[in-house]
Amino acid sequence: MNTVSEKIMSIGVVPVIKLNNPERDAVDLAKALCAGGVPVAEVTFRAAGAAKAIKLMSDNVPEMLVGAGTVMTTAQVDEAIEAGAKFIVTPGLDEEIVRYCQSKDIVIYAGCTTPTDYHTAFRLGLDVLKFFPAEQSGGLSKIKAMSAPFPMFKVMPTGGISLKNLGEYISCPVIAACGGSYMVTADLIDNGKWDEITDLCKKSVDIVKEARNNG
């Protein structure tokens, strides 16, 4: 496992962030996440200012591990790398993007939810997969079932993860980390509720620690 994946696994949660106003919010948000013990972010390209947000976070809060999410094209991979992204996340498994990221020596977490996806990921040499949308695709029970024929993978489920089920997911040894937006909702970000974001991160870290200690 590479050092990026090891760091993400040590944290246990990855905030999935859509920033509408990166100039105003990116740096404050990064500081709030770090204060809560979650120095990592997946900034999604669903918002036009994603690359700007990645650059602002990376330049101003260097302890942050910042990646790009919802990456759909190789051009976006280039844009993310130029902005300082340390990892790429795709919603599905796109062989062209995977191979392109490998050629650029940047970590990629591709979205995989079926045996065909997993088998293709195996042939591509991946070792950590995004499982999206997690709850809607069968949740933890499906992840466990898929690990039987594919024990070589660690999984990062995203979609439907909250404080209520985070512990259940993290307690499973197959899970590397959980992605979630519950600690970085539009309401929290747009209204500058940085203390609440920090608090939600702290609660998430506590859940991860407890689940792993009891696992």
* Residues with catalytic roles: 42, 130
The position carrying tokens 């898929």 is 146
Q: Which one-letter DSSP state was computed for residue 21?
A: -
Say which residues have a Cβ less than 8 Å from residue 120's Cβ, sequence separation at least 6.
93, 95, 112
Helices marked H in 69-193: 74-83, 95-103, 115-123, 139-147, 166-170, 186-190
185 touches 161 (CB < 8 A): no
The position carrying tokens 């990456």 is 71
